[in-house]
Structure 1
Amino acid sequence: MPVSPDFLDYILDLLAPLSNEYGGSVEAPRLFGGRGLTLHGRNFGLITRDDTLYLKADAISQPQFEAAGCIRFAPWADKPHRSLGYYTPPEGAMDDPDELLRWARLAVDAALRAPAKAPKKAKAPAAAKRKNLADMLLE
């Protein structure tokens, strides 16, 4: 079951102030049956198929998430020790827009601190590969 449209709209409404604070817009592209949350092309959160929000943490913000009793995202039931650096907001934050924004800002800041991924190199078209092979055979 995909993320419910009502829950997605609710989260995007709550996170809308981030667009003004950081510039750009909060987007929610499809991600493995759920939705990612991005700002400036950086992933700062995700919503799972069961309508659970997780926010990105890094070495700086992780202690705050853990101290607040947040639950770490662990997508592999057979590997509970392996998880990603995403946590639920603390209990009650989903009912308090200001509190949720405080935690979302930590997630956006963590995403912005993370090194940008290098763009993927474009593959040479097959015709160019054949031409290079032909050139090598003629030498």
Structure 2
Amino acid sequence: MAADQGLIDWVAEAMEPVGTVTKRAMMGGATLYCDGTIFAIVSHDGALWFKADAESDATWDGAGCDRFTYDMNGKIGSMNYRRAPDDVYDDPDELRRWAVLGLDAGHRAPKKATARKKR
């Protein structure tokens, strides 16, 4: 199942005051970027997950937002993403409030080293 394009379009529209949302396909879902910074994923089942980190975990925990987990050959793994609260699906202000929390976590994340070109 492919990522829910309607949900991606909704996120992009709601995030227009913050920046431009782009997507990249990921394991049946999509990774979402705002002006080049990763801030969310849409899972293959159509759920929206915002990036989290140690600084924002308490806020996510307080809202009861589960951590993203997956099953890899019988082993349960997790990623630093939290399930979006239900109200983000129909309230653009709430979507932006939680998305900005994810965007802030994206800005704090260590940058990946880029490969150097051979001369």
* TM-score computed with the length of structure 2 as normaliser: 0.87
Percent identity over paired residues? 36
CA contact (8 A) 1:2 1:49 kept: yes
Rounded Cα–Cα distance in structure 1 between residues aligned with 2:15 and 2:87: 16
Provide closer, same or farther for how the CA distance between residues 120 and 66 of structure 1 changes in structure 2, counting only shifts above 3 A: same
Paired amino acid for 2:65: C
How far is 1:59 from its partner?
0.7
User: For this pair of structures, how many residues does the alignment match?
Assistant: 118
CA contact (8 A) 2:4 2:42 kept: no
CA drift at 1:83: 0.4
* RMSD (Å) for aligned C-alpha atoms: 1.8
Kindly indicate which of the two structures has a greater share of residues assigned to helix.
Answer: 1
Q: Deviations over 1:72-95 (max 9, x none)?
A: 110226333x20010112232322
Larger displacement relative to structure 2 (103-112 or 6-15): 6-15
Give CA deviations for 1:19-48 in whole Å, capped at 9, x if unaligned. 1xxxxx221111122110112432111001
Q: Which has the higher strand share?
A: 2
Residue aligning to 2:6: 6
- TM normalised by structure 1 equals 0.76
| Paired residues of 1:56 and 1:87 also in contact (CA < 8 A) | yes
Unaligned ranges ≥5, structure 1: 20-24, 125-139
| Structure with the larger RCO, 1 or 2 (CA within 8 Å, 6+ apart) | 2
Which position in structure 1 is the counterpart of 2:105?
110
Post-superposition offset of 1:71: 1.7
Q: Give, in whole Å, the separation in 1 of the partners of 2:101 and 2:15.
A: 13
Distance in structure 1 (CA, Å) of the matches to 2:6 and 2:95:
17
Q: Bigger radius of gyration, 1 or 2? A: 1
User: In structure 2, what is the Cα distance between the partners aligned to 1:72 and 1:94?
Assistant: 18
Whole-angstrom distance in 1 between the partners of 2:35 and 2:12: 15
**Deviation sequence 1:44-67 (CA, Å, 0-9, x none):** 110011111000001111110111
Q: Do the aligned partners of residues 76 and 122 (structure 1) sit closer, same or farther apart at CA in structure 2, a change above 3 Å counting?
A: farther
CA distance in structure 2 between the partners assigned to 1:54 and 1:10 by the alignment: 14
